Amino acid sequence: MHLLGKVALVTGGASGIGVGICKKLAEKGAKVVVNYIGDSYEEKAKNLVQEIRANGGDAIWISGDVTNQTHVEQMINSTLEQYGKIDILVNNAGITIDGLTQNLETEDFIKVLSVNLVGPFLTMKLALPHMIANKFGRIINISSVAALIGLRGAPAYAASKAGLIGLSKTTAREVARKGITVNVICPGYINAGMTERVAQEYLDSMTPLIPMGIFGEPEDIGGGVVFLASDEAKLITGEVIRIDGGIAM
């Protein structure tokens, strides 16, 4: 499953699951654009790019807010200026603001949807014309098992990730005859990102609920992304793939 000569843009690529995705894409020969936002992630993005380059890969970092259309336009244009095309788009950037439905502030609900759902809409909207012109594209949107089974105390997160599945399936139908596939990966509990901010006793209580009995690693999600971006998956579109140790089966 090689991706030699392909150009991949990964939103939220500087931390958590995004790091595993970027590394796996680079290992398979893709040129990787690591998107991040905020000064706190700039050093992480630069370190990741340097690591990829040190291992013989090709990567750059680009700052940009996926909820801001001007930023997304700049992100797309910078990728085109550097590499001339966008073959693979991975919508990985995401946030959560937790709270029971009756307690969650409305503005927090909207903020989560803006990043997790509006963000992927904007990146797809602006990347698709270039993919259509090239008659090739692989879009992989990172959702969550929370979209499939719900997650107590995370109504905004679960709703946004469920919405992303609907958006992905609709877009997949729209571009299916244009050489472009759109698929979704639903991670379960992964040893990175959001789980790092969860109390250990909660994580310990969840482990018995996972049939395989283990949490995943960022590279596990990266492996799924590589497959869906490769020629081996050319007939797969509109699909939702769980990488979750069986928790949502």
165 within 8 A of 140, measured Cβ to Cβ: no
153 within 8 A of 100, measured Cβ to Cβ: yes
Active-site annotation holder among 36, 83, 157, 189? 157
94: left (phi > 0), else alpha (psi -120 to 50), else beta? beta
Please report the sign of the dihedral spanned by the C-alpha atoms of residue 153, residue 212, residue 181, residue 236.
negative
Please give the Cα distance from 167 to 157 (Å, whole number): 15
∠ CA 155-68-134, rounded to 5°: 105
End-to-end CA distance of the chain: 27
9 within 8 A of 88, measured Cβ to Cβ: yes
- Identify which of 89, 27, 87 has the alpha carbon closest to the alpha carbon of residue 59: 27
Q: Say which amino acid occupies 191.
A: N
The question of whether 202 is a catalytic residue gets the answer no
The set of catalytic residues is 157
